[in-house]
Amino acid sequence: MASPPPSPRSENISGEQNGSDLIQKTDEIHRETLPNLPTGKGWMTEHLVQYQGFWFSPNGLKNLMWLHDHFNPRPTDIFLASFPKAGTTWLKALVFATVNRTRHGFSDHPLLTNNPHVCFPFLDAYLHEKDPSFLDLDGSTTPRLLSTHIPYALLPDSMTANRSCRFVYIYRDPKDVLVSKWHFLSKRRPQELPPFSLEEAFELFCRGISHNGPFWDHVLGYWKASLELPEKILFLKYEDLKEEPFGAVKRIGEFLGFPFSLEEEREGVVEDIVKLCSFENLSSLEVNRTSVHKFSADSLVDNRHFFRKGIVGDSNNYLTAEMIKRLDEITSHKFFGPGLLFHNS
């Protein structure tokens, strides 16, 4: 086990020390740490590394270290946290539309011409460019909306100890997460690597070897924190959002300090937000059918890959009965002890 990431420093990218010097320092620590870490087979890179009990791509680990070294949260920040493929894109759209509903009209809304990942930057990708201005975090409007896939236990103290920052977390049936992730990464896997079968992905996922995994530890970390700090962390489930999106949007507004007034409810603002952010609407927009999102110079994703089917239970069409049984057993076993009830779809 490697030593814990260095504690956050007081300087940030706009502080006294030069931003690129600080980033170089992070690079050095990363270079020194990497060879000593256990490795597992990668989904999209050759391998993943295990750090403090969780799995990351080598670049993902560098971003985690950067976050610890250089990120200064503001008390008003809103973080969206999730395990990859649990519903991040959808929740980004819902939170952005809810928080900014007085700034933008629905007829010329930014979500009609921008992918949700543009409106709601991915904090973990910031370092990629080695350019502090890549995401103009200091210049963002208030509240800043930032997303992360980092497990709760590995977040910098500056993010968890600050009582004012809010987190919205989303999780989803791991069977659907696995299938969604396998589809997504298969499309993005470099051609020089051999094809990656669903069977292989399944085995790795069950063993916890997947970006920011184990899945179950990721969910439990945020769930336990949400029980301890219910005013700081809102814990949501993809399947509940699908079933009752209006109630979920109202809860999100209330939790984040942007409650819907009776008048807004009467005018159908909640319904407008749900409609704007629906899979059917977002996936049919020109920007989400044809454009590419640039997380960094070497991480480009076709926007359409963020919208596949958007349904509950599609894993039943891909996994064998045996695979379903095994994953459900792991989920029951992992969640039952701590008391997290999860109804498998």
Residue 46 backbone dihedrals phi, psi, to 5 degrees: -60, -45
Beta bridge partners of 235: 169
Judge if the upstream peptide bond of residue 143 is cis by omega within 30 degrees of 0.
yes
| Closer residue to ligand PAP (CB): 63 or 180 | 180
| Closer residue to ligand PAP (CB): 84 or 143 | 84
Residues that bind ligand PAP (CB under 6 A): 82, 84-90, 176, 180, 183, 277-279, 282, 306-310, 314
| Closer residue to ligand PAP (CB): 215 or 307 | 307
149 is catalytic: yes
| Closer residue to ligand PAP (CB): 166 or 183 | 183
C-beta of 122: minimal distance to ligand PAP in Å?
Answer: 8
C-beta of 292: minimal distance to ligand PAP in Å?
Answer: 14
Closest CA to 84 of 199, 238, 224, 235: 238
C-beta of 29: minimal distance to ligand PAP in Å?
Answer: 27
Q: Where are the beta strands (DSSP E) in the chain?
A: 39-41, 47-51, 54-56, 78-82, 145-148, 166-171, 233-237, 292-296, 299-302
Q: How far apart are CA 171 and CA 86, in angstroms?
A: 5
Burial class (CB in 10 A: 0-12, 13-18, 19+), 110: middle
The DSSP-derived string for 55-99 is EE-HHHHHHHHHHHHH----TT-EEEEE-TTSSHHHHHHHHHHHH
Residues 109, 117, 149, 183: which is the catalytic one? 149
C-beta of 247: minimal distance to ligand PAP in Å?
Answer: 16
| Closer residue to ligand PAP (CB): 57 or 82 | 82
C-beta of 93: minimal distance to ligand PAP in Å?
Answer: 6
Strands 54-56 and 166-171: unpaired
Q: How far apart are CA 322 and CA 320, in angstroms?
A: 5
Which residues are catalytically annotated? Answer: 149
